[in-house]
Structure formats: structure tokens, C-alpha cells
Amino acid sequence: MSQHQPDMISTSTPERQPVVNDFSITFCTVNGSGSATSNLTVLRAIFKMGIPVSGKNIFPSNIQGLPTWYSIRVNKDGFTARVEKDDIIVAMNPATFIQDLDYVVPGGMVLYSDDIKLTPTRSDLTYYPMPVKQLIRSIDITPQLRDFVSNMIYVGVLAWLIGIDMEAIRAALEYHFKGRAKPVETNLAAIRVAYDWAAANLQENHTYRLQPMKATEGMILSDGNTAAALGAIYGGVQFVAWYPITPGSSLPEALIEYLPELRMNKETGEQNYMIVQAEDEIAAIGMLVGAGWGGLRAMTATAGPGLSLMTEYLGLAYFAEVPLVVWDVQRVGPSTGLPTRTAQGDLTGVYFMGHGDTNFIQLFPGNMNECFEFGWKAFDIAERLQMPVVVLSDLDLGMNQWMGQPFEYPDRPMDRGKVLWEGDLDLFEAKTGKKWGRYLDVDGDGIPYRTLPGNLNPRSAYFTRGTGHDEYARYSEDPEVWERNILRLAKKIQTAKSYMPGPVIQRMEQAQAGIIAVGSTDAAVQEARLKLADRGIKTDYMRIRGWPFTQEVDEFVRTHERIYVVEINRDGQLRQILMINYPEQASHFRKVARVNGLPLSARWIIDEILSQEEK
């Protein structure tokens, strides 16, 4: 027997101004129940209505039966960061029902499946029990399909309550089902039934309303991993080896999906790329080292545990000067940690990765468009410098849907770096007056010239090793040779600065403090800055996009005495790296760091900075 009498509906909320295009909805479901399609449909439909929107999936490391939350934030000003409270929840999971209510703002709405027979603990909310089973039975579909389609009931009820446009829903479904009419119509039928039921049985509330805007016109929706894969395809990726791990997997899986579309000869069926699912991450990175050494644009994607396994080979790649690209889509560590939750906890790990004096070029994409851009740029940087590049993304950026401008075709030709083919060896010697040596720095930038296997010039071959070697790739244990080589490698890091993407700096007039962040926290930081400014705290903000740091970073650090370093980890890893890079300014950096598995909210950043400012 339902505890909630129909008369509870919409009686608890006094008439108030509707909140338009500024609220959040969380779908509380059980994973494996097929709710993803419904949630994405709502997200896409709102986006299609021209209203800025973002979606975050908070999911368990499990295939079926554990609670999952999907939060959609609608925000007319374009803020996309996570918020801590829900205005509306769609409660489909009895196991978390009572707990889920705690997150709803006073006056908020609760849609729930009427087979949840629990007594709500709060009387300041408006409840909408939905007869999901009964409605689904009224649709003409096979019993097997009922489970899949039943999540569409809440889409229909919600559509009526907040005003989601039916045409936008249709567009979202057509996109999702790649235009296949049957599933589109089946799902639409369920949504219509629910919509009509709501119209006939629910009292209009109008607390939260969607109103079409034009704010998303021309924009696209993508997750960062798909964007990265597409960017890599435009970067001419030729060799991919990977081992499945959340949240990295969907990047190579996007390559598997899109490479045939974009890089296969439609007439001959020939592919000019190779994808290998390796036996583990050691093999995956080993394959990349082989491919990169062979002259291919090689990449992988992984997460913390995989990166740990890759460390030895990455050190060899650094020392043997092999270009390759590793995407580390960060999740919560240490150890297996929270495999399906987001963090920025690999910053110092990557910074110090490898034994001996090892360095890696690092890139920090801050949004989906930068995932695309760094997708191709990482190859140019790796090949130019003959070094591994590690791109540090994270689960929030990689796996969630983000709005963005359309992807832009690379604005420059590929940089394949210093490669000598058969005829080039003579040219090299004529030009430099020197015999070619694999590790001979003739340009003074630390970067030597390389030849590739398959080069038929008898003078092109060389012996590559992880042991000491001289300019001509000969084995050497000579102290001077070693030191000369290791110092040349350090010089490459200096050279790298002119190839790195600079930071994005946003200033406010008379800023009293600085903020530094990397990656996906950008959305929350942007929002926090504006709200802090309203409270009288003006900040300059620098989002760093790579290491080695460029001159603009040096400048920002020097000219701001108090800098809040915002990041998702326990120890303030970015702050630690900054302190190492800027020992003179080490006292400038303040820690604003936490890790609990969730993306940072603007509110938390504001509170943290406010409390430190008051000190």
C-alpha cells in the first residue's frame, strides 16, 4: 500500500516564482537497469532546446544491481560544474530512496516509482509517484522490451512537469538509436503515455521550468574520451595498444568505432592503422615503444594502475628517445581505489615517474575541445621532441558529456620531427659536415635526428638500448659520455617549452589573489571566481595546460603573492609540483585540495577560499 496519498501532490509547496533554466535533476537508479539511455535523452533534449546543460554519471564499480546517480545541471549562464544539491530527483532505487531525499533542496520535487513503498522523511518536498508498471503494460511491446523501455516513463512525466520539448526528445532518441525507427518509436510511445498520464493526473506545479534558449546553437555534445580519440585520428594515429580499464577504456573504444569511418579505404577495405588489445599494460606500452621507435604515431589510454605497470617501459622510451602518447584518464587511487570515480591524483606520480632522472612531457586538457586538440597535438610534440607525452585527463572529463564548440580541424601541418630517410643521410652529412649519429645534437636544441627501421641505407641502422650510449649509439659506461647525454636530455625539456600549449589566463581588475588549476576543475573554478567576485574577492586565474611550464606560468607565479591551487587529490599535488618548480615563490601557493570521488563543486571552492582569505 502506498504511503503517499494523492492529495500530497503539490499541496506542500506554496505558490512561488518558477525557477527557469537554473536547476539540477538527479536520476537515482540501479545500475544495469538501462537508465543511461533515458538520462542521456533528457540531457540531449535540453541541449537541443538551446539551454546550457551538463551531465555527470556517479556510478559504481559493478555491472548490475548497485546504486547509480546521474545528475543533470541546467544552467542558463552556462555553468557546468557539479552542484551539491538537487532541485529534482527521480527516485527509482528503493535502496537509496530515503537517503536520496536528503539531497533535495526545500521545495524540491521528487518523482518516484510507485512500487517504492517507503514513507518519505520530508514534508517540504513535492512528491510525484509514477505508476511505472501500469503505464508500461498499456504499451504494445513484448514483455522482454518492457524493462528497457520502462525508464522512459520518468522521461515522459518529467517532460510534462518541467517542459521538455517533445521534438527535442525525438531528436535525442533518433541520435541515440542512429536513426533506427523501431526503437525510436517504441521509446517515444512510452514517453507519450507517461506524458499524457501526467497531464491528466498531476496538478501543474511549475516550480521548475525549461524555456527554450539559443545558447547552445552551433555547439556539440561529447565526452572527453571520444573527443580525444577523434583528435588522435586527425593527428594521424597509426598504432593503438591498450588494456581495458575504467575510465580509460572508452577512449580506445571510440578509436575502434571511428577509425574505420575516417581512416579505412572504403573501396579496398584497407586500413592504415592497427589497434591491439594487449595482454596487459606492460605489453600495451611495449608495443607503443616498438611502434614509436619504428616511426608510427602510437598511443594508448589507461588509468592509474595501468600507468604504474607502464612505468619501466616509459623510462626506456624517455632514455631511448622514443615518441609515443599515453592518455592517463585519472580515477581515484591509491591502489584500485574508487575505479569509477574521478580524481587528479596522478599528478606527482607522473611528474616523478620512472627511476633515475626521467622526465615526461605532460598535457592537461581542461575541457572536451582540448581533449580533441591535444589528441592530435600530443603526437606533434612527442615526435618533435622524441619523447613520451602523458596526457592527464580524468574520469569526469573523459566519461561525462560536455557541451563545447565544434571540433576544429588542426590549424597546422603535422610535425613529424627530425627523421632521416635513405637520401637524407647524405644531405645531413653535407650540411653539418658530421657523420650522422643517432644521439648527436647538431642543432643545439638537444634533439638528435633519427632513422627508422626499413630505411635501406646501409648507414642508417643503429643499436637502441636502455643502457649507456654515446652520440653514435655505441655502448658506453664512460662518465663523461653519460653526463653529456643526460644533460642533453635535460636540454630537450628546455626546448619543449616552445612547443607546449601555454596556460589560459583570465584576469579581474584589482585582483587580490590568484588561482591555479589544471584539467576538469575548470568549470567549478570559473563559477567560483564569479561568485567570489560578488563577495568582493577578485581573482586572477591561470589554468595550466602542460609541463614543462612556459614563461607565462613563470610570470603569473612571480606576480601573484597569494595563489590558491585548486585540485582533486589529498596532498595538493599540483601545489607540490609548483613549489618544486618555483622554490623562490614556494610560499605563494595555498592548498585547495580534496578528494572524495566527486568532481569539485564551485561552492566548496568558494568556502575554502573564503575561509583562507579570512585568516
Residues 166-205 touching other proteins, rule: CB under 8 A, are 172, 175
Binds other proteins by CB under 8 A, chosen from 125, 159, 191, 278: 278
Q: If binding is defined by CB under 8 A, does position 290 make contact with other proteins?
A: yes
Q: If binding is defined by CB under 8 A, does position 288 make contact with other proteins?
A: yes
- Cα-flanking dihedrals φ and ψ of residue 480, to 5°? -70, -40
- Cα-flanking dihedrals φ and ψ of residue 342, to 5°? -90, 155
Q: Give the CA-trace dihedral at 493, 499, 505, 510, to 10 degrees.
A: 60
The stretch near other proteins (CB under 8 A) out of 244-252, 294-302, 424-432, 526-534 is 294-302
Binds other proteins by CB under 8 A, chosen from 289, 343, 425, 525: 289
Q: If binding is defined by CB under 8 A, does position 408 make contact with other proteins?
A: yes
Residues 6 or more apart whose CB falls under 8 angstroms from that of 368 comprise 222, 223, 224, 227, 397, 402, 404
Q: Minimum CB separation from other proteins for residue 146, in Å?
A: 27
CB 417 within 8 A of CB 449: no
Residues 6 or more apart whose CB falls under 8 angstroms from that of 380 comprise 235, 414, 415, 499
Q: If binding is defined by CB under 8 A, does position 461 make contact with other proteins?
A: yes
Q: For residues 49-108, which are near other proteins according to CB under 8 A? A: 50
584-587 CB contacts, 8 Å cutoff, 24+ apart: 585/557, 585/558
Q: Minimum CB separation from other proteins for residue 157, in Å?
A: 24
Binds other proteins by CB under 8 A, chosen from 282, 530, 579, 586: 282
The stretch near other proteins (CB under 8 A) out of 25-33, 405-413, 552-560, 583-591 is 405-413
Q: For residues 243-272, which are near other proteins according to CB under 8 A? A: 258, 262-263, 265, 268-272
Q: If binding is defined by CB under 8 A, does position 468 make contact with other proteins?
A: no
CB 70 within 8 A of CB 29: yes
Q: For residues 213-232, which are near other proteins according to CB under 8 A? A: 216-222, 226, 230
What secondary structure does DSSP assign to 161-195, as a single string?
III--HHHHHHHHHHHTTT-HHHHHHHHHHHHHHH
Q: If binding is defined by CB under 8 A, does position 276 make contact with other proteins?
A: yes
When the beta carbons of 317 and 391 are compared against other proteins, the nearer one is 317
Exposed (0-12), middle (13-18) or buried (19+): which is 501, by Cβ within 10 Å?
middle
When the beta carbons of 313 and 604 are compared against other proteins, the nearer one is 313
When the beta carbons of 296 and 518 are compared against other proteins, the nearer one is 296
Q: For residues 118-177, which are near other proteins according to CB under 8 A? A: 172, 175
Task: Report how far residue 105's alpha carbon sits from residue 602's, in angstroms, rounded to the nearest whole number.
Answer: 17
Q: Minimum CB separation from other proteins for residue 272, in Å?
A: 6
- For other proteins (CB under 8 A), the number of binding residues is 85
Task: Report how far residue 544's alpha carbon sits from residue 497's, in angstroms, rounded to the nearest whole number.
Answer: 13
Q: If binding is defined by CB under 8 A, does position 313 make contact with other proteins?
A: yes
Task: Report how far residue 365's alpha carbon sits from residue 394's, in angstroms, rounded to the nearest whole number.
Answer: 9
Q: Minimum CB separation from other proteins for residue 297, in Å?
A: 7
Beta strand 86-91 pairing with 22-30: parallel
Nearest residue to 573 via CA among 377, 368, 312, 353: 353
Residues 6 or more apart whose CB falls under 8 angstroms from that of 468 comprise 475, 476, 477, 478, 481, 482, 485
Q: Where are the beta strands (DSSP E) in 31-66?
A: 53-58
Q: Minimum CB separation from other proteins for residue 46, in Å?
A: 10
Question: Distances from the Cα of 385 to the Cαs of 436, 438, 489, 523, in angstroms?
Answer: 18, 14, 10, 31
When the beta carbons of 143 and 458 are compared against other proteins, the nearer one is 458
- Cα-flanking dihedrals φ and ψ of residue 22, to 5°? -155, 75
Binds other proteins by CB under 8 A, chosen from 143, 179, 356, 413: 413
When the beta carbons of 13 and 482 are compared against other proteins, the nearer one is 482
When the beta carbons of 257 and 607 are compared against other proteins, the nearer one is 257
Binds other proteins by CB under 8 A, chosen from 23, 47, 70, 374: 47
Binds other proteins by CB under 8 A, chosen from 247, 252, 295, 599: 295
When the beta carbons of 410 and 437 are compared against other proteins, the nearer one is 410
Q: Minimum CB separation from other proteins for residue 292, in Å?
A: 7
When the beta carbons of 84 and 167 are compared against other proteins, the nearer one is 167
Q: If binding is defined by CB under 8 A, does position 462 make contact with other proteins?
A: yes
Q: Minimum CB separation from other proteins for residue 184, in Å?
A: 15
Task: Report how far residue 120's alpha carbon sits from residue 127's, in angstroms, rounded to the nearest whole number.
Answer: 9
CB 221 within 8 A of CB 142: no
When the beta carbons of 423 and 433 are compared against other proteins, the nearer one is 423
In the chain, how long is the greatest CA-to-CA distance?
93
Dihedral over Cα of 548, 552, 556, 559: its sign: positive
Q: For residues 472-531, which are near other proteins according to CB under 8 A? A: 475
When the beta carbons of 227 and 578 are compared against other proteins, the nearer one is 227
Task: Report how far residue 73's alpha carbon sits from residue 52's, in angstroms, rounded to the nearest whole number.
Answer: 8
Binds other proteins by CB under 8 A, chosen from 15, 279, 477, 509: 279
When the beta carbons of 310 and 496 are compared against other proteins, the nearer one is 310
Q: For residues 414-443, which are near other proteins according to CB under 8 A? A: 414, 416, 421
- In single-letter form, the type of residue at position 32 comes to G
Question: Hey, which residues does 240 pair with through a beta bridge?
Answer: 275, 299
Binds other proteins by CB under 8 A, chosen from 466, 483, 551, 558: 466
CB 520 within 8 A of CB 396: yes
The stretch near other proteins (CB under 8 A) out of 192-200, 210-218, 495-503, 600-608 is 210-218
When the beta carbons of 32 and 163 are compared against other proteins, the nearer one is 163
Question: Distances from the Cα of 430 to the Cαs of 160, 423, 435, in angstroms?
Answer: 77, 11, 9
Q: Minimum CB separation from other proteins for residue 215, in Å?
A: 9
Interior angle at CA 529, CA 525 and CA 531, nearest 5 = 120
Q: For residues 7-46, which are near other proteins according to CB under 8 A? A: 44
Binds other proteins by CB under 8 A, chosen from 124, 280, 426, 555: 280
